[in-house]
Amino acid sequence: MKENFTMTTNIPEMLGVKETAIRFGISQNYTRQLALSGAVKAVRVGRGKILINAKSMADFFNNSYINADEPATNGDIKPIPVKL
């Protein structure tokens, strides 16, 4: 007799770099940078394929904000020294 087993663990939703970039409206390059830097949870599978935890990415953006304490730039243009 075959028994039915149910999984009692929560399996996180994992997305590829392209899928993650589309879902969160960011570039694939930035998505890859976040994964490789450890800013979001990700795993490498196979030959270089990166899978990113969707909840971790959502948490990253939900907890990120522009700090109002940072001084605003006044728009001054500063010359860049060039050696010829």
Q: What confidence score (pLDDT) does residue 76 get? A: 72
Tokens coding 73: 């730039």
Q: Compute the distance between CA of residue 58 and CA of residue 55 in angstroms, rounded to an integer.
A: 5
Tokens coding 12: 């996180």
The answer as to whether 80 is a domain residue is no
Q: Compute the distance between CA of residue 17 and CA of residue 62 in angstroms, rounded to an integer.
A: 19
The answer as to whether 45 is a domain residue is yes
User: Residue 5 pLDDT > 80, yes or no?
Assistant: no
Give the start-end residues of each E strand in 1-84: 14-16, 42-45, 49-53
The answer as to whether 27 is a domain residue is yes
Count of structural domains within the chain = 1
The answer as to whether 7 is a domain residue is no
Residue 21 sits in which domain range?
14-62
The answer as to whether 37 is a domain residue is yes
The answer as to whether 81 is a domain residue is no
pTM: 0.67
Q: How confident is the model at residue 83 (pLDDT cuts 50, 70, 90)?
A: confident
What per-residue string of b and e applies to 11-37 under the rule 16 or more CB within 10 Å gives b? eeebbebebbbeebeeeeeebbebbee
Tokens coding 48: 């270089």
